[in-house]
Structure 1
Amino acid sequence: MTNNVIRISHNVTSYDTGNKPYKHDFARGKWATRWDFYAVALSHCFGFRHFLMHMVFYRAGVVPIIISHILGMVFFMLPLYFTQMFMGQFSSTGIISVFRIAPLFKGVGYISLFLNLLSCSYFMVIAAFPLYIVFASMQSNLPWSHCSNHFNSELCVVIKPESVNTSWSSTDFYNEYYNKTLPTHEFLSFILNGNNEEMEESSRLSWRILLCTLLIWILISAVLFKGIETFGKIFRFITAASFICMLLTFLRILCVPESWEAIGKFFTLSSSYSRYLHYIVASPILALSVFGAGWGNVLTIASYNNFKEDIGKLSFITCFIQIFTFLITCICFTSIETYLEKHFGYMYFNYSHFDVISLQFVIYALYFSHLGWPQFWTILFFAVIFLTQFAEGALQMLTILTAIYDEYEFTRIYKNIVLGGLVGFFGFISIFFCSADGFGALKILYPIAGANKLVIILIELLVVLWIYGRLRFQRDVRFMTGKPMKSWKIWIMRFLTPIGILIALLYATVESFMQVRFISSLSLIVIFVFLFLKLTPLLYVPGYMIYKVSSATGTILERIRKLCVPNDWYPVDPIERRTYADYTGSTDINDLVHANVLTESVHF
């Protein structure tokens, strides 16, 4: 194999480039224990995204799911998670300042911040829905279990599981109840529209969802107000409560006879090889669930770790638990669907005008209303959904605030004002999404968000493993963790992982446009606006590169090389910085003066 030797500079300081030096905020704090990191990283395990992912792996069976999970973990989850862990923990900074590793790509940080701000404008509405169901469940009779509510119409019909002849075909059941509606159907319309007569007025504001959304924003501001240590302690409770409640719910679902029938189907081998291929191709999509709702969440929480934490161990444990919880959610939904299909026949009748997100809530509410102690189990299940959605939103806000405080030094003395201003702004913007039309528009935003996230992750891999370089990356990981990075792992991260990301990017893009035909005409306008806002900002990345190159001196090639050299890339702790300077052979990192230019051999 031919060895190609390329001379690349080791590191420079801000004085070399004329840029303003980075000043670390030592008051930003750290996690009290590593358990805080685990609590925050695993807080969204049972989020609504996991329950939507079953649609990708619908009736897959255990074998293709296990295959896709193993592939997803080895080739996508772990490499991507490890990369973001490295960037955050080594730099101890947020999603903008971390691009000191390659200043030419700093536009990626700004775009990540923009997308997080845009996502927060609607994300809490999704958390408001399960919160309202929790409140609505605190009644002697669940409002979606009968037709005696003031919002019910004459078409409302209650179907009891024991009254259904299981020998009916789906067609007979469909013909019998074609013009009927279930109480869950009308309850959802009531939440979104106010009353049953105005179901077509999709733009009508839902005050119930709006009030729950505003309450959530108040709670998020309270969680973030006291700093990172209090944030970690609160998340310990959120994550522990979510796991306990979900475990109890899972055990209760297993007590339903139809669940074992569903589990039997779940472990049945599929004879369709095309189905296996479909799930294998879709395996990169699983990697997105590890990162939660925002852009750079993992990088942000890793920046609050102690510098010497074993990022390999943290990454493996987190990804493994994420996969395990996803399997639990798949079993839960398969059991719920089997029960509803058996006792309600053509279960999706008269739901065609609802979006997928709303429909999922209807399905779960219908299922738990037919169990013993329906109020208790409904509250327990939707409390899990609410807690995990709330945790995702709070973590996304932490990512935004950390990026702002780390990059813009003057904001550090106005932290409470910045927090209050952002919460008030998002609360105001959320008003639109607290309507039927706005809530329906959320259907398309999930895959669009996924497409953007995949592009950003792909660029981060390029920056760390190709621009910064595999040898530097391996060296820094060994210095930080005390453990060497195997070359075969680097090979997977540099070649196989990017190929999988490109496949997933194509898959997510196609899926997002396929959903357009289910959206109302008014929502189409909204969707195209958000397509413009979410996809075109990615053009800012090359635009920022052009701006930085044009502002530098020298030939074009010299400018690009200079902007790809790490700038002030070193541990922020003075002791670790001095040790790192000795470890790398740089004699002047500690003094922030001209760094030595080293020659490094890069072997392809």
Structure 2
Amino acid sequence: MERSEWSKPIQFILSIIGYAVGLGNIWRFPYLVLTNGGGAFLVPYITFMLFCGIPFCFMEFTLGQFSGLSPVEAFGFAPLFRGLGWAMLLVSGMLCIYYNIVMAWVVFYFTQSFSWNLPWKSCNNSWNTPNCFTYTGLTNMSSIPPNSTSSTMEFWTHRVLESSPDISDFGGVNKHLCACMAVAWILTFLCLYKGIKTSGKVVYVTALIPYVFLSILVVRGLTLPGAEIGLNFYIKADWKQLKSLTIWTRAAVQVFYSLGPAWGGLITMSSYNRYHRKFNWDAFLLPIVCGGTSIFGGFAVFPIVGHMAYQMGSTNVSTLMNSGPGLAFIVYPEALAQIPGAPIFTVCFFAMLFTLGLDSQFATLETMTSGFMDRFPNTLGRHKTLFTLLVCIVQFFLGFVLVTRAGGYWFQIFDWYATPISIVLIATLEVIAISYVYGAKKMLGHAETMIGKRSRFGRIFWTTIWYFITPCFTFYLFVTVIMDYTPPYFTNGKPFPSWSVAFGWCVASVSMIPIPLFAIREMWRRRHNLKSLFKPMEYWTDACEARLRQAEMRKIREAEMELDGIEDDVRE
């Protein structure tokens, strides 16, 4: 079967931007800046983006576009590492499961925002407790009653999550979140039911609309009294923190997780490119847009939180800020509730989050479905719509534990274990496989057949980066993630029970198991010729040669059509 291609070049650009620019750019990056030296954090962030983010993108674009294969088949250049493709497929599949519960939370908040009296703004609701207090009218942080809980926190805990007391107490299904998760999966399917033929059109909206909403929030935030309080924490640099290894580590992690190498999405999306697409500019554009969005997003977060601090007579926003879901579903909604016209800007905020999350889900799910269809082209490949529907249904039910009343705890288990360790392991082995086993020079040669010859300096630059800097970066990241590991804990500081931690490690191992399994299988199959473990498989070579022939035939057809057009003009 001939592989689908993007209808227009811009669709690939929008798809990879939508994939890389996600929720973490809004709810993680601002907190990292706040807690890691303010503006000084941008130094290691930009450094890692330039010397690691861009080279990784270039490497994965080369592999995907040259082979025209999804990750499951793309690693056929080295049989010993074939398990990496399946590892990418599984880690993307697990991400889809718990990512869509976040989308469900966003959908619920979005629907609740269509009210002039935002439900998390008061303590007069059925879910509130006697310990509830509101920030409205609060002029001093010291006047907050002891052992009290904000109305926003109670809305999140008792209304949205309907949290049970413990992770083992499932407490039945949270019906409104179940419905919202179903909506999220239905929309995901409708955008992907024909693969890139549908998602390529949807990204015109989902990749661009977030910037409209983000700009609205930035403008509104900058015009609020107290905005300068938040901006001061965001922009002011504590250069002394650059001496700390921690700030460099966190910058490296943020670059890695925001761009999405080793997840399989970049390889999958680039495999739908035309053979001679000049993707080298895309490899520069994606990190720039991703980093720029993160920085721009900070100007939407800090001024509004600064306004909240101003109203409470405080000059310290660090006591209000949080990371992850805490920022998106507790801190920011509370801050938005304090400004005039709050419902309008709240709708904008959650609409922005939904579109950011939706197009990140496109490439993640496409990585999974295309992997199976590339592996079984004569069965699954002929029924793309039906198979995509089946995958969405299965993943909806696999995520059912996340819509129980213990779902918030299980989300933390998945988020803690499903991807962090496996992703850095996959990335480390991927760089070794491409740079040392297959050869960085050979892979660069493949890139040159598609985008044209590089200068001597360019070839030296890329091979040096791929041979030394990128491998060191990924290995350093892998060691850091392992050494910094701590078990998850509840908000009160109590650690999760040991059985749930054991389950978390089982979840983590799911995506890592294919790596040794496929390696052992290939070693057994090739036990009489171990050198073949490091040589391209026949199907991979055939696929690459077929891609080249197809590209050359297209060039000939286009030249003939152009010649026919010239002849017609001459006759006229």
Q: Which residue of structure 2 aligns with residue 17 of structure 1?
A: none
The one-letter amino acid of 2:445's match is R
Distance 1:289 1:562 in 2: 31
* CA apart distance, 1:199: 6.0
Deviation at 1:440, TM superposition (A): 2.7
Question: 1:471-518, CA deviations, whole angstroms, 9 ceiling, x for partnerless residues?
Answer: 212211111101314212221221111212122223333455254465
1:277: how far off? 4.0
Greater alpha carbon shift after TM alignment, 64-73 vs 133-142: 64-73
What CA deviation, in whole Å up to 9, does each residue of 1:241-290 have, x standing for no partner?
11111111111111123222322343323152456543223332133234
1:16 maps to none
Give the conservation status (yes or no) of the 8 Å contact 1:235–1:391. yes
Query: In structure 1, what is the equivalent of residue 387 of structure 2?
Result: 418
* 2:295 counterpart of 1:327: yes
Q: Of residues 43, 47, 52 in structure 1, which corresponds to 2:18?
A: 43
Following superposition, the deviation at residue 338 of structure 1 comes to: 3.2
- The separation in 2 between residues aligned to 1:541 and 1:383, in whole angstroms, is 39
- Tell me the distance in 1 between the aligned counterparts of 2:327 and 2:227: 21
Identify which range, 219-228 or 307-316, moves more after superposition: 219-228
Q: CA offset at residue 562 of structure 1?
A: 4.6
1:492 and 2:462 equivalent? no
Q: Note if 1:440 corresponds to 2:405.
A: no
Choose 113-122 or 561-570, whichever is displaced more: 561-570
Partner of 1:239: 207
One-letter code of the match for 1:513? T
Q: CA deviation at 1:347?
A: 8.7
Distance apart, 1:383 and its partner CA: 0.9
CA distance in 1 between counterparts of 2:535 and 2:528 reads 9
Instruction: Say if 1:294 and 1:375 are closer, same or farther in 2 by CA, change over 3 A.
Output: farther
**Which letter does structure 2 place at the counterpart of 1:30?**
E
Structure 1 position 571, deviation (Å): 4.3
Indicate yes or no: 2:257 matched with 1:313: no
| Aligned twin of 1:501 | 474
- Give, in whole Å, the separation in 2 of the partners of 1:356 and 1:232: 29
Partner of 1:225: 193
Q: Find out whether 1:140 has 2:107 as its counterpart.
A: no
Contact 2:61–2:266 (CA under 8 A) maintained in structure 1: yes
* Residue 138 of structure 1: how far off its partner (Å): 0.8
Shift of 1:83: 0.9
Question: Are 2:76 and 2:536, in contact at CA under 8 Å, matched by a contact in 1?
Answer: no
Q: RMSD of aligned C-alpha atoms?
A: 3.0
How far residue 84 of structure 1 moved from its aligned partner, in angstroms, is: 0.8
The answer on 1:86 being equivalent to 2:56 is no
Number of residue-to-residue matches in the alignment: 542
Per the TM alignment, residue 213 of structure 1 is displaced from its structure 2 partner at its CA by 0.4
Alignment deviations for residues 414-462 of structure 1 (CA, whole Å, 9 cap, x no partner) = 2233122211111112221113432233335445413211211222211
1:73-127 deviations in Å (ceiling 9; x for gaps): 1221111111111111111110111112222211111122122222222220011
- Asked whether the equivalents of residues 447 and 509 of structure 1 are also in contact (C-alpha less than 8 Å), the reply is no
1:523-575 superposed Cα distances (whole Å, 9 cap, x missing partner): 6533421322313642431332122121125354x343456896436243363
Report SS of the residue matched to 1:472: helix
Question: Who is 1:203 aligned against?
Answer: 170
- Verify: 1:570 aligned to 2:540, yes or no: no
Query: Given the alignment of the two structures, is residue 533 of structure 1 paired with residue 507 of structure 2, yes or no?
Result: yes
Kept in 2: contact 1:45–1:326 (CA 8 A) = no
- On the 8 A contact 1:111/1:540 being kept in 2, the answer is yes
Q: Percent identity?
A: 17
* Counterpart residue number, 2:422: 452
8 Å contact 1:121–1:430 — kept in the other structure?
Answer: yes
Which residue identity does 2:380 align to in structure 1?
A: T
| Counterpart Cα distance in 2 of 1:115 and 1:437 | 23
Asked if 1:475 is matched to 2:465, the reply is no
Q: Contact conserved, 2:233 with 2:317, CA < 8 A, in 1?
A: no
Q: TM-score, normalised by structure 1?
A: 0.82
Is the aligned partner of 1:182 residue 2:182?
no
For 1:197-596, what aligned pairs fall within 5 Å after superposition?
Answer: 203-204=170-171, 205-273=173-241, 277-292=245-260, 295-344=263-312, 357-358=325-326, 360-409=328-377, 410-446=379-415, 448=417, 449-484=419-454, 485-513=458-486, 515-516=488-489, 525-535=499-509, 537-552=511-526, 554-556=528-530, 558-562=531-535, 567-568=541-542, 570-573=544-547, 575-576=549-550
On the 8 A contact 1:437/1:522 being kept in 2, the answer is no
Tell whether the 8 Å contact from 2:24 to 2:258 is kept in structure 1 after alignment. no
Q: Indicate if the aligned counterparts of 1:128 and 1:386 stay in contact, CA closer than 8 A.
A: no
Deviations 1:278-307 (A, max 9, x none): 322333213323434982011111111111
How far apart, in 2, do the equivalents of 1:350 and 1:87 lie?
A: 44
Aligned partners of 2:261 and 2:427 also within 8 Å: no
Please list every run of 5 or more consecutive structure 2 residues that lacks an aligned counterpart in the other structure.
554-572
Asked whether the 8 Å contact 1:307–1:480 carries over to 2, the reply is yes
Give SS of 2:383's match.
helix
Conserved in 2, the CA contact under 8 Å of 1:447 and 1:511? no
Number of the residue aligned with 2:132: 156
- Using structure 2 for the length normalisation, give the TM-score: 0.86
